[in-house]
Structure 1
Amino acid sequence: MAGSTFGNIFSITTWGESHGKGIGVVIDGCPAGLSLTEEDIQVYLNRRKPGQSRFTTPRKEDDTVEILSGVFDGRTTGTPISLMVRNTSQRSKDYSEIASYYRPGHADYTYDCKYGFRDYTGGGRSSGRETIGRVAAGAVAAKLLQELGITVTAYTRSIGPVQINESRFDLSEMERNAVNMPDAEAAEQAMAYLDACRTKEDSCGGVVECVVKGVPAGVGDPCFDKLSANLAKAICSIGAVKGFEIGDGFLAARSCGSENNDAFYMKEDGSVGKKTNHAGGILGGISDGSDIIFRAAFKPTPSISALQHTVNKTGEDIEVSIHGRHDPIIVPRAVVVVECMAAITVLDGLLTAMTSRVDLIKEFWGR
Structure 2
Amino acid sequence: MDDGKSTLVGRLLYDGKAVLADTLQAVSSASRARGAELDLSLLVDGLRGEREQGITIDVAHRYLSTASRDVVLVDCPGHVEYTRNTVTGMSSADVALLLVDVRNGLVEQTRRHAAVAALLRVPHLILAVNKIDLVDYDEEAFARVVTDAEAYAKEVGIAQVTAVPVSAKSGDNVTTKSDRTPWYEGPTLLDLLASVEVPVRANAPLRLPVQWVARGGDTRRYTGTIASGIARPGDEVLVQPSGRRTRIVSVEDADGPLDAAGEGAAVAVTLTDELHVGRGELIVAADEPAEVVREFVADLAVVGDRPVVAGDRVLVRHTGKLVRGLVREVTDTVDIDTGRRRPADRLQTNDIGRATIAVAEPLAVDPYGVDRTTGAALLLTERTGDTIAAALVRRLTTENQGARS
The answer to whether the superposition gives a TM-score over 0.5 is no
Q: Which is richer in strand?
A: 2
Normalising by structure 2, we get a TM-score of 0.23
Which has more radius of gyration? 2
Q: Which is richer in helix?
A: 1
Normalising by structure 1, we get a TM-score of 0.25
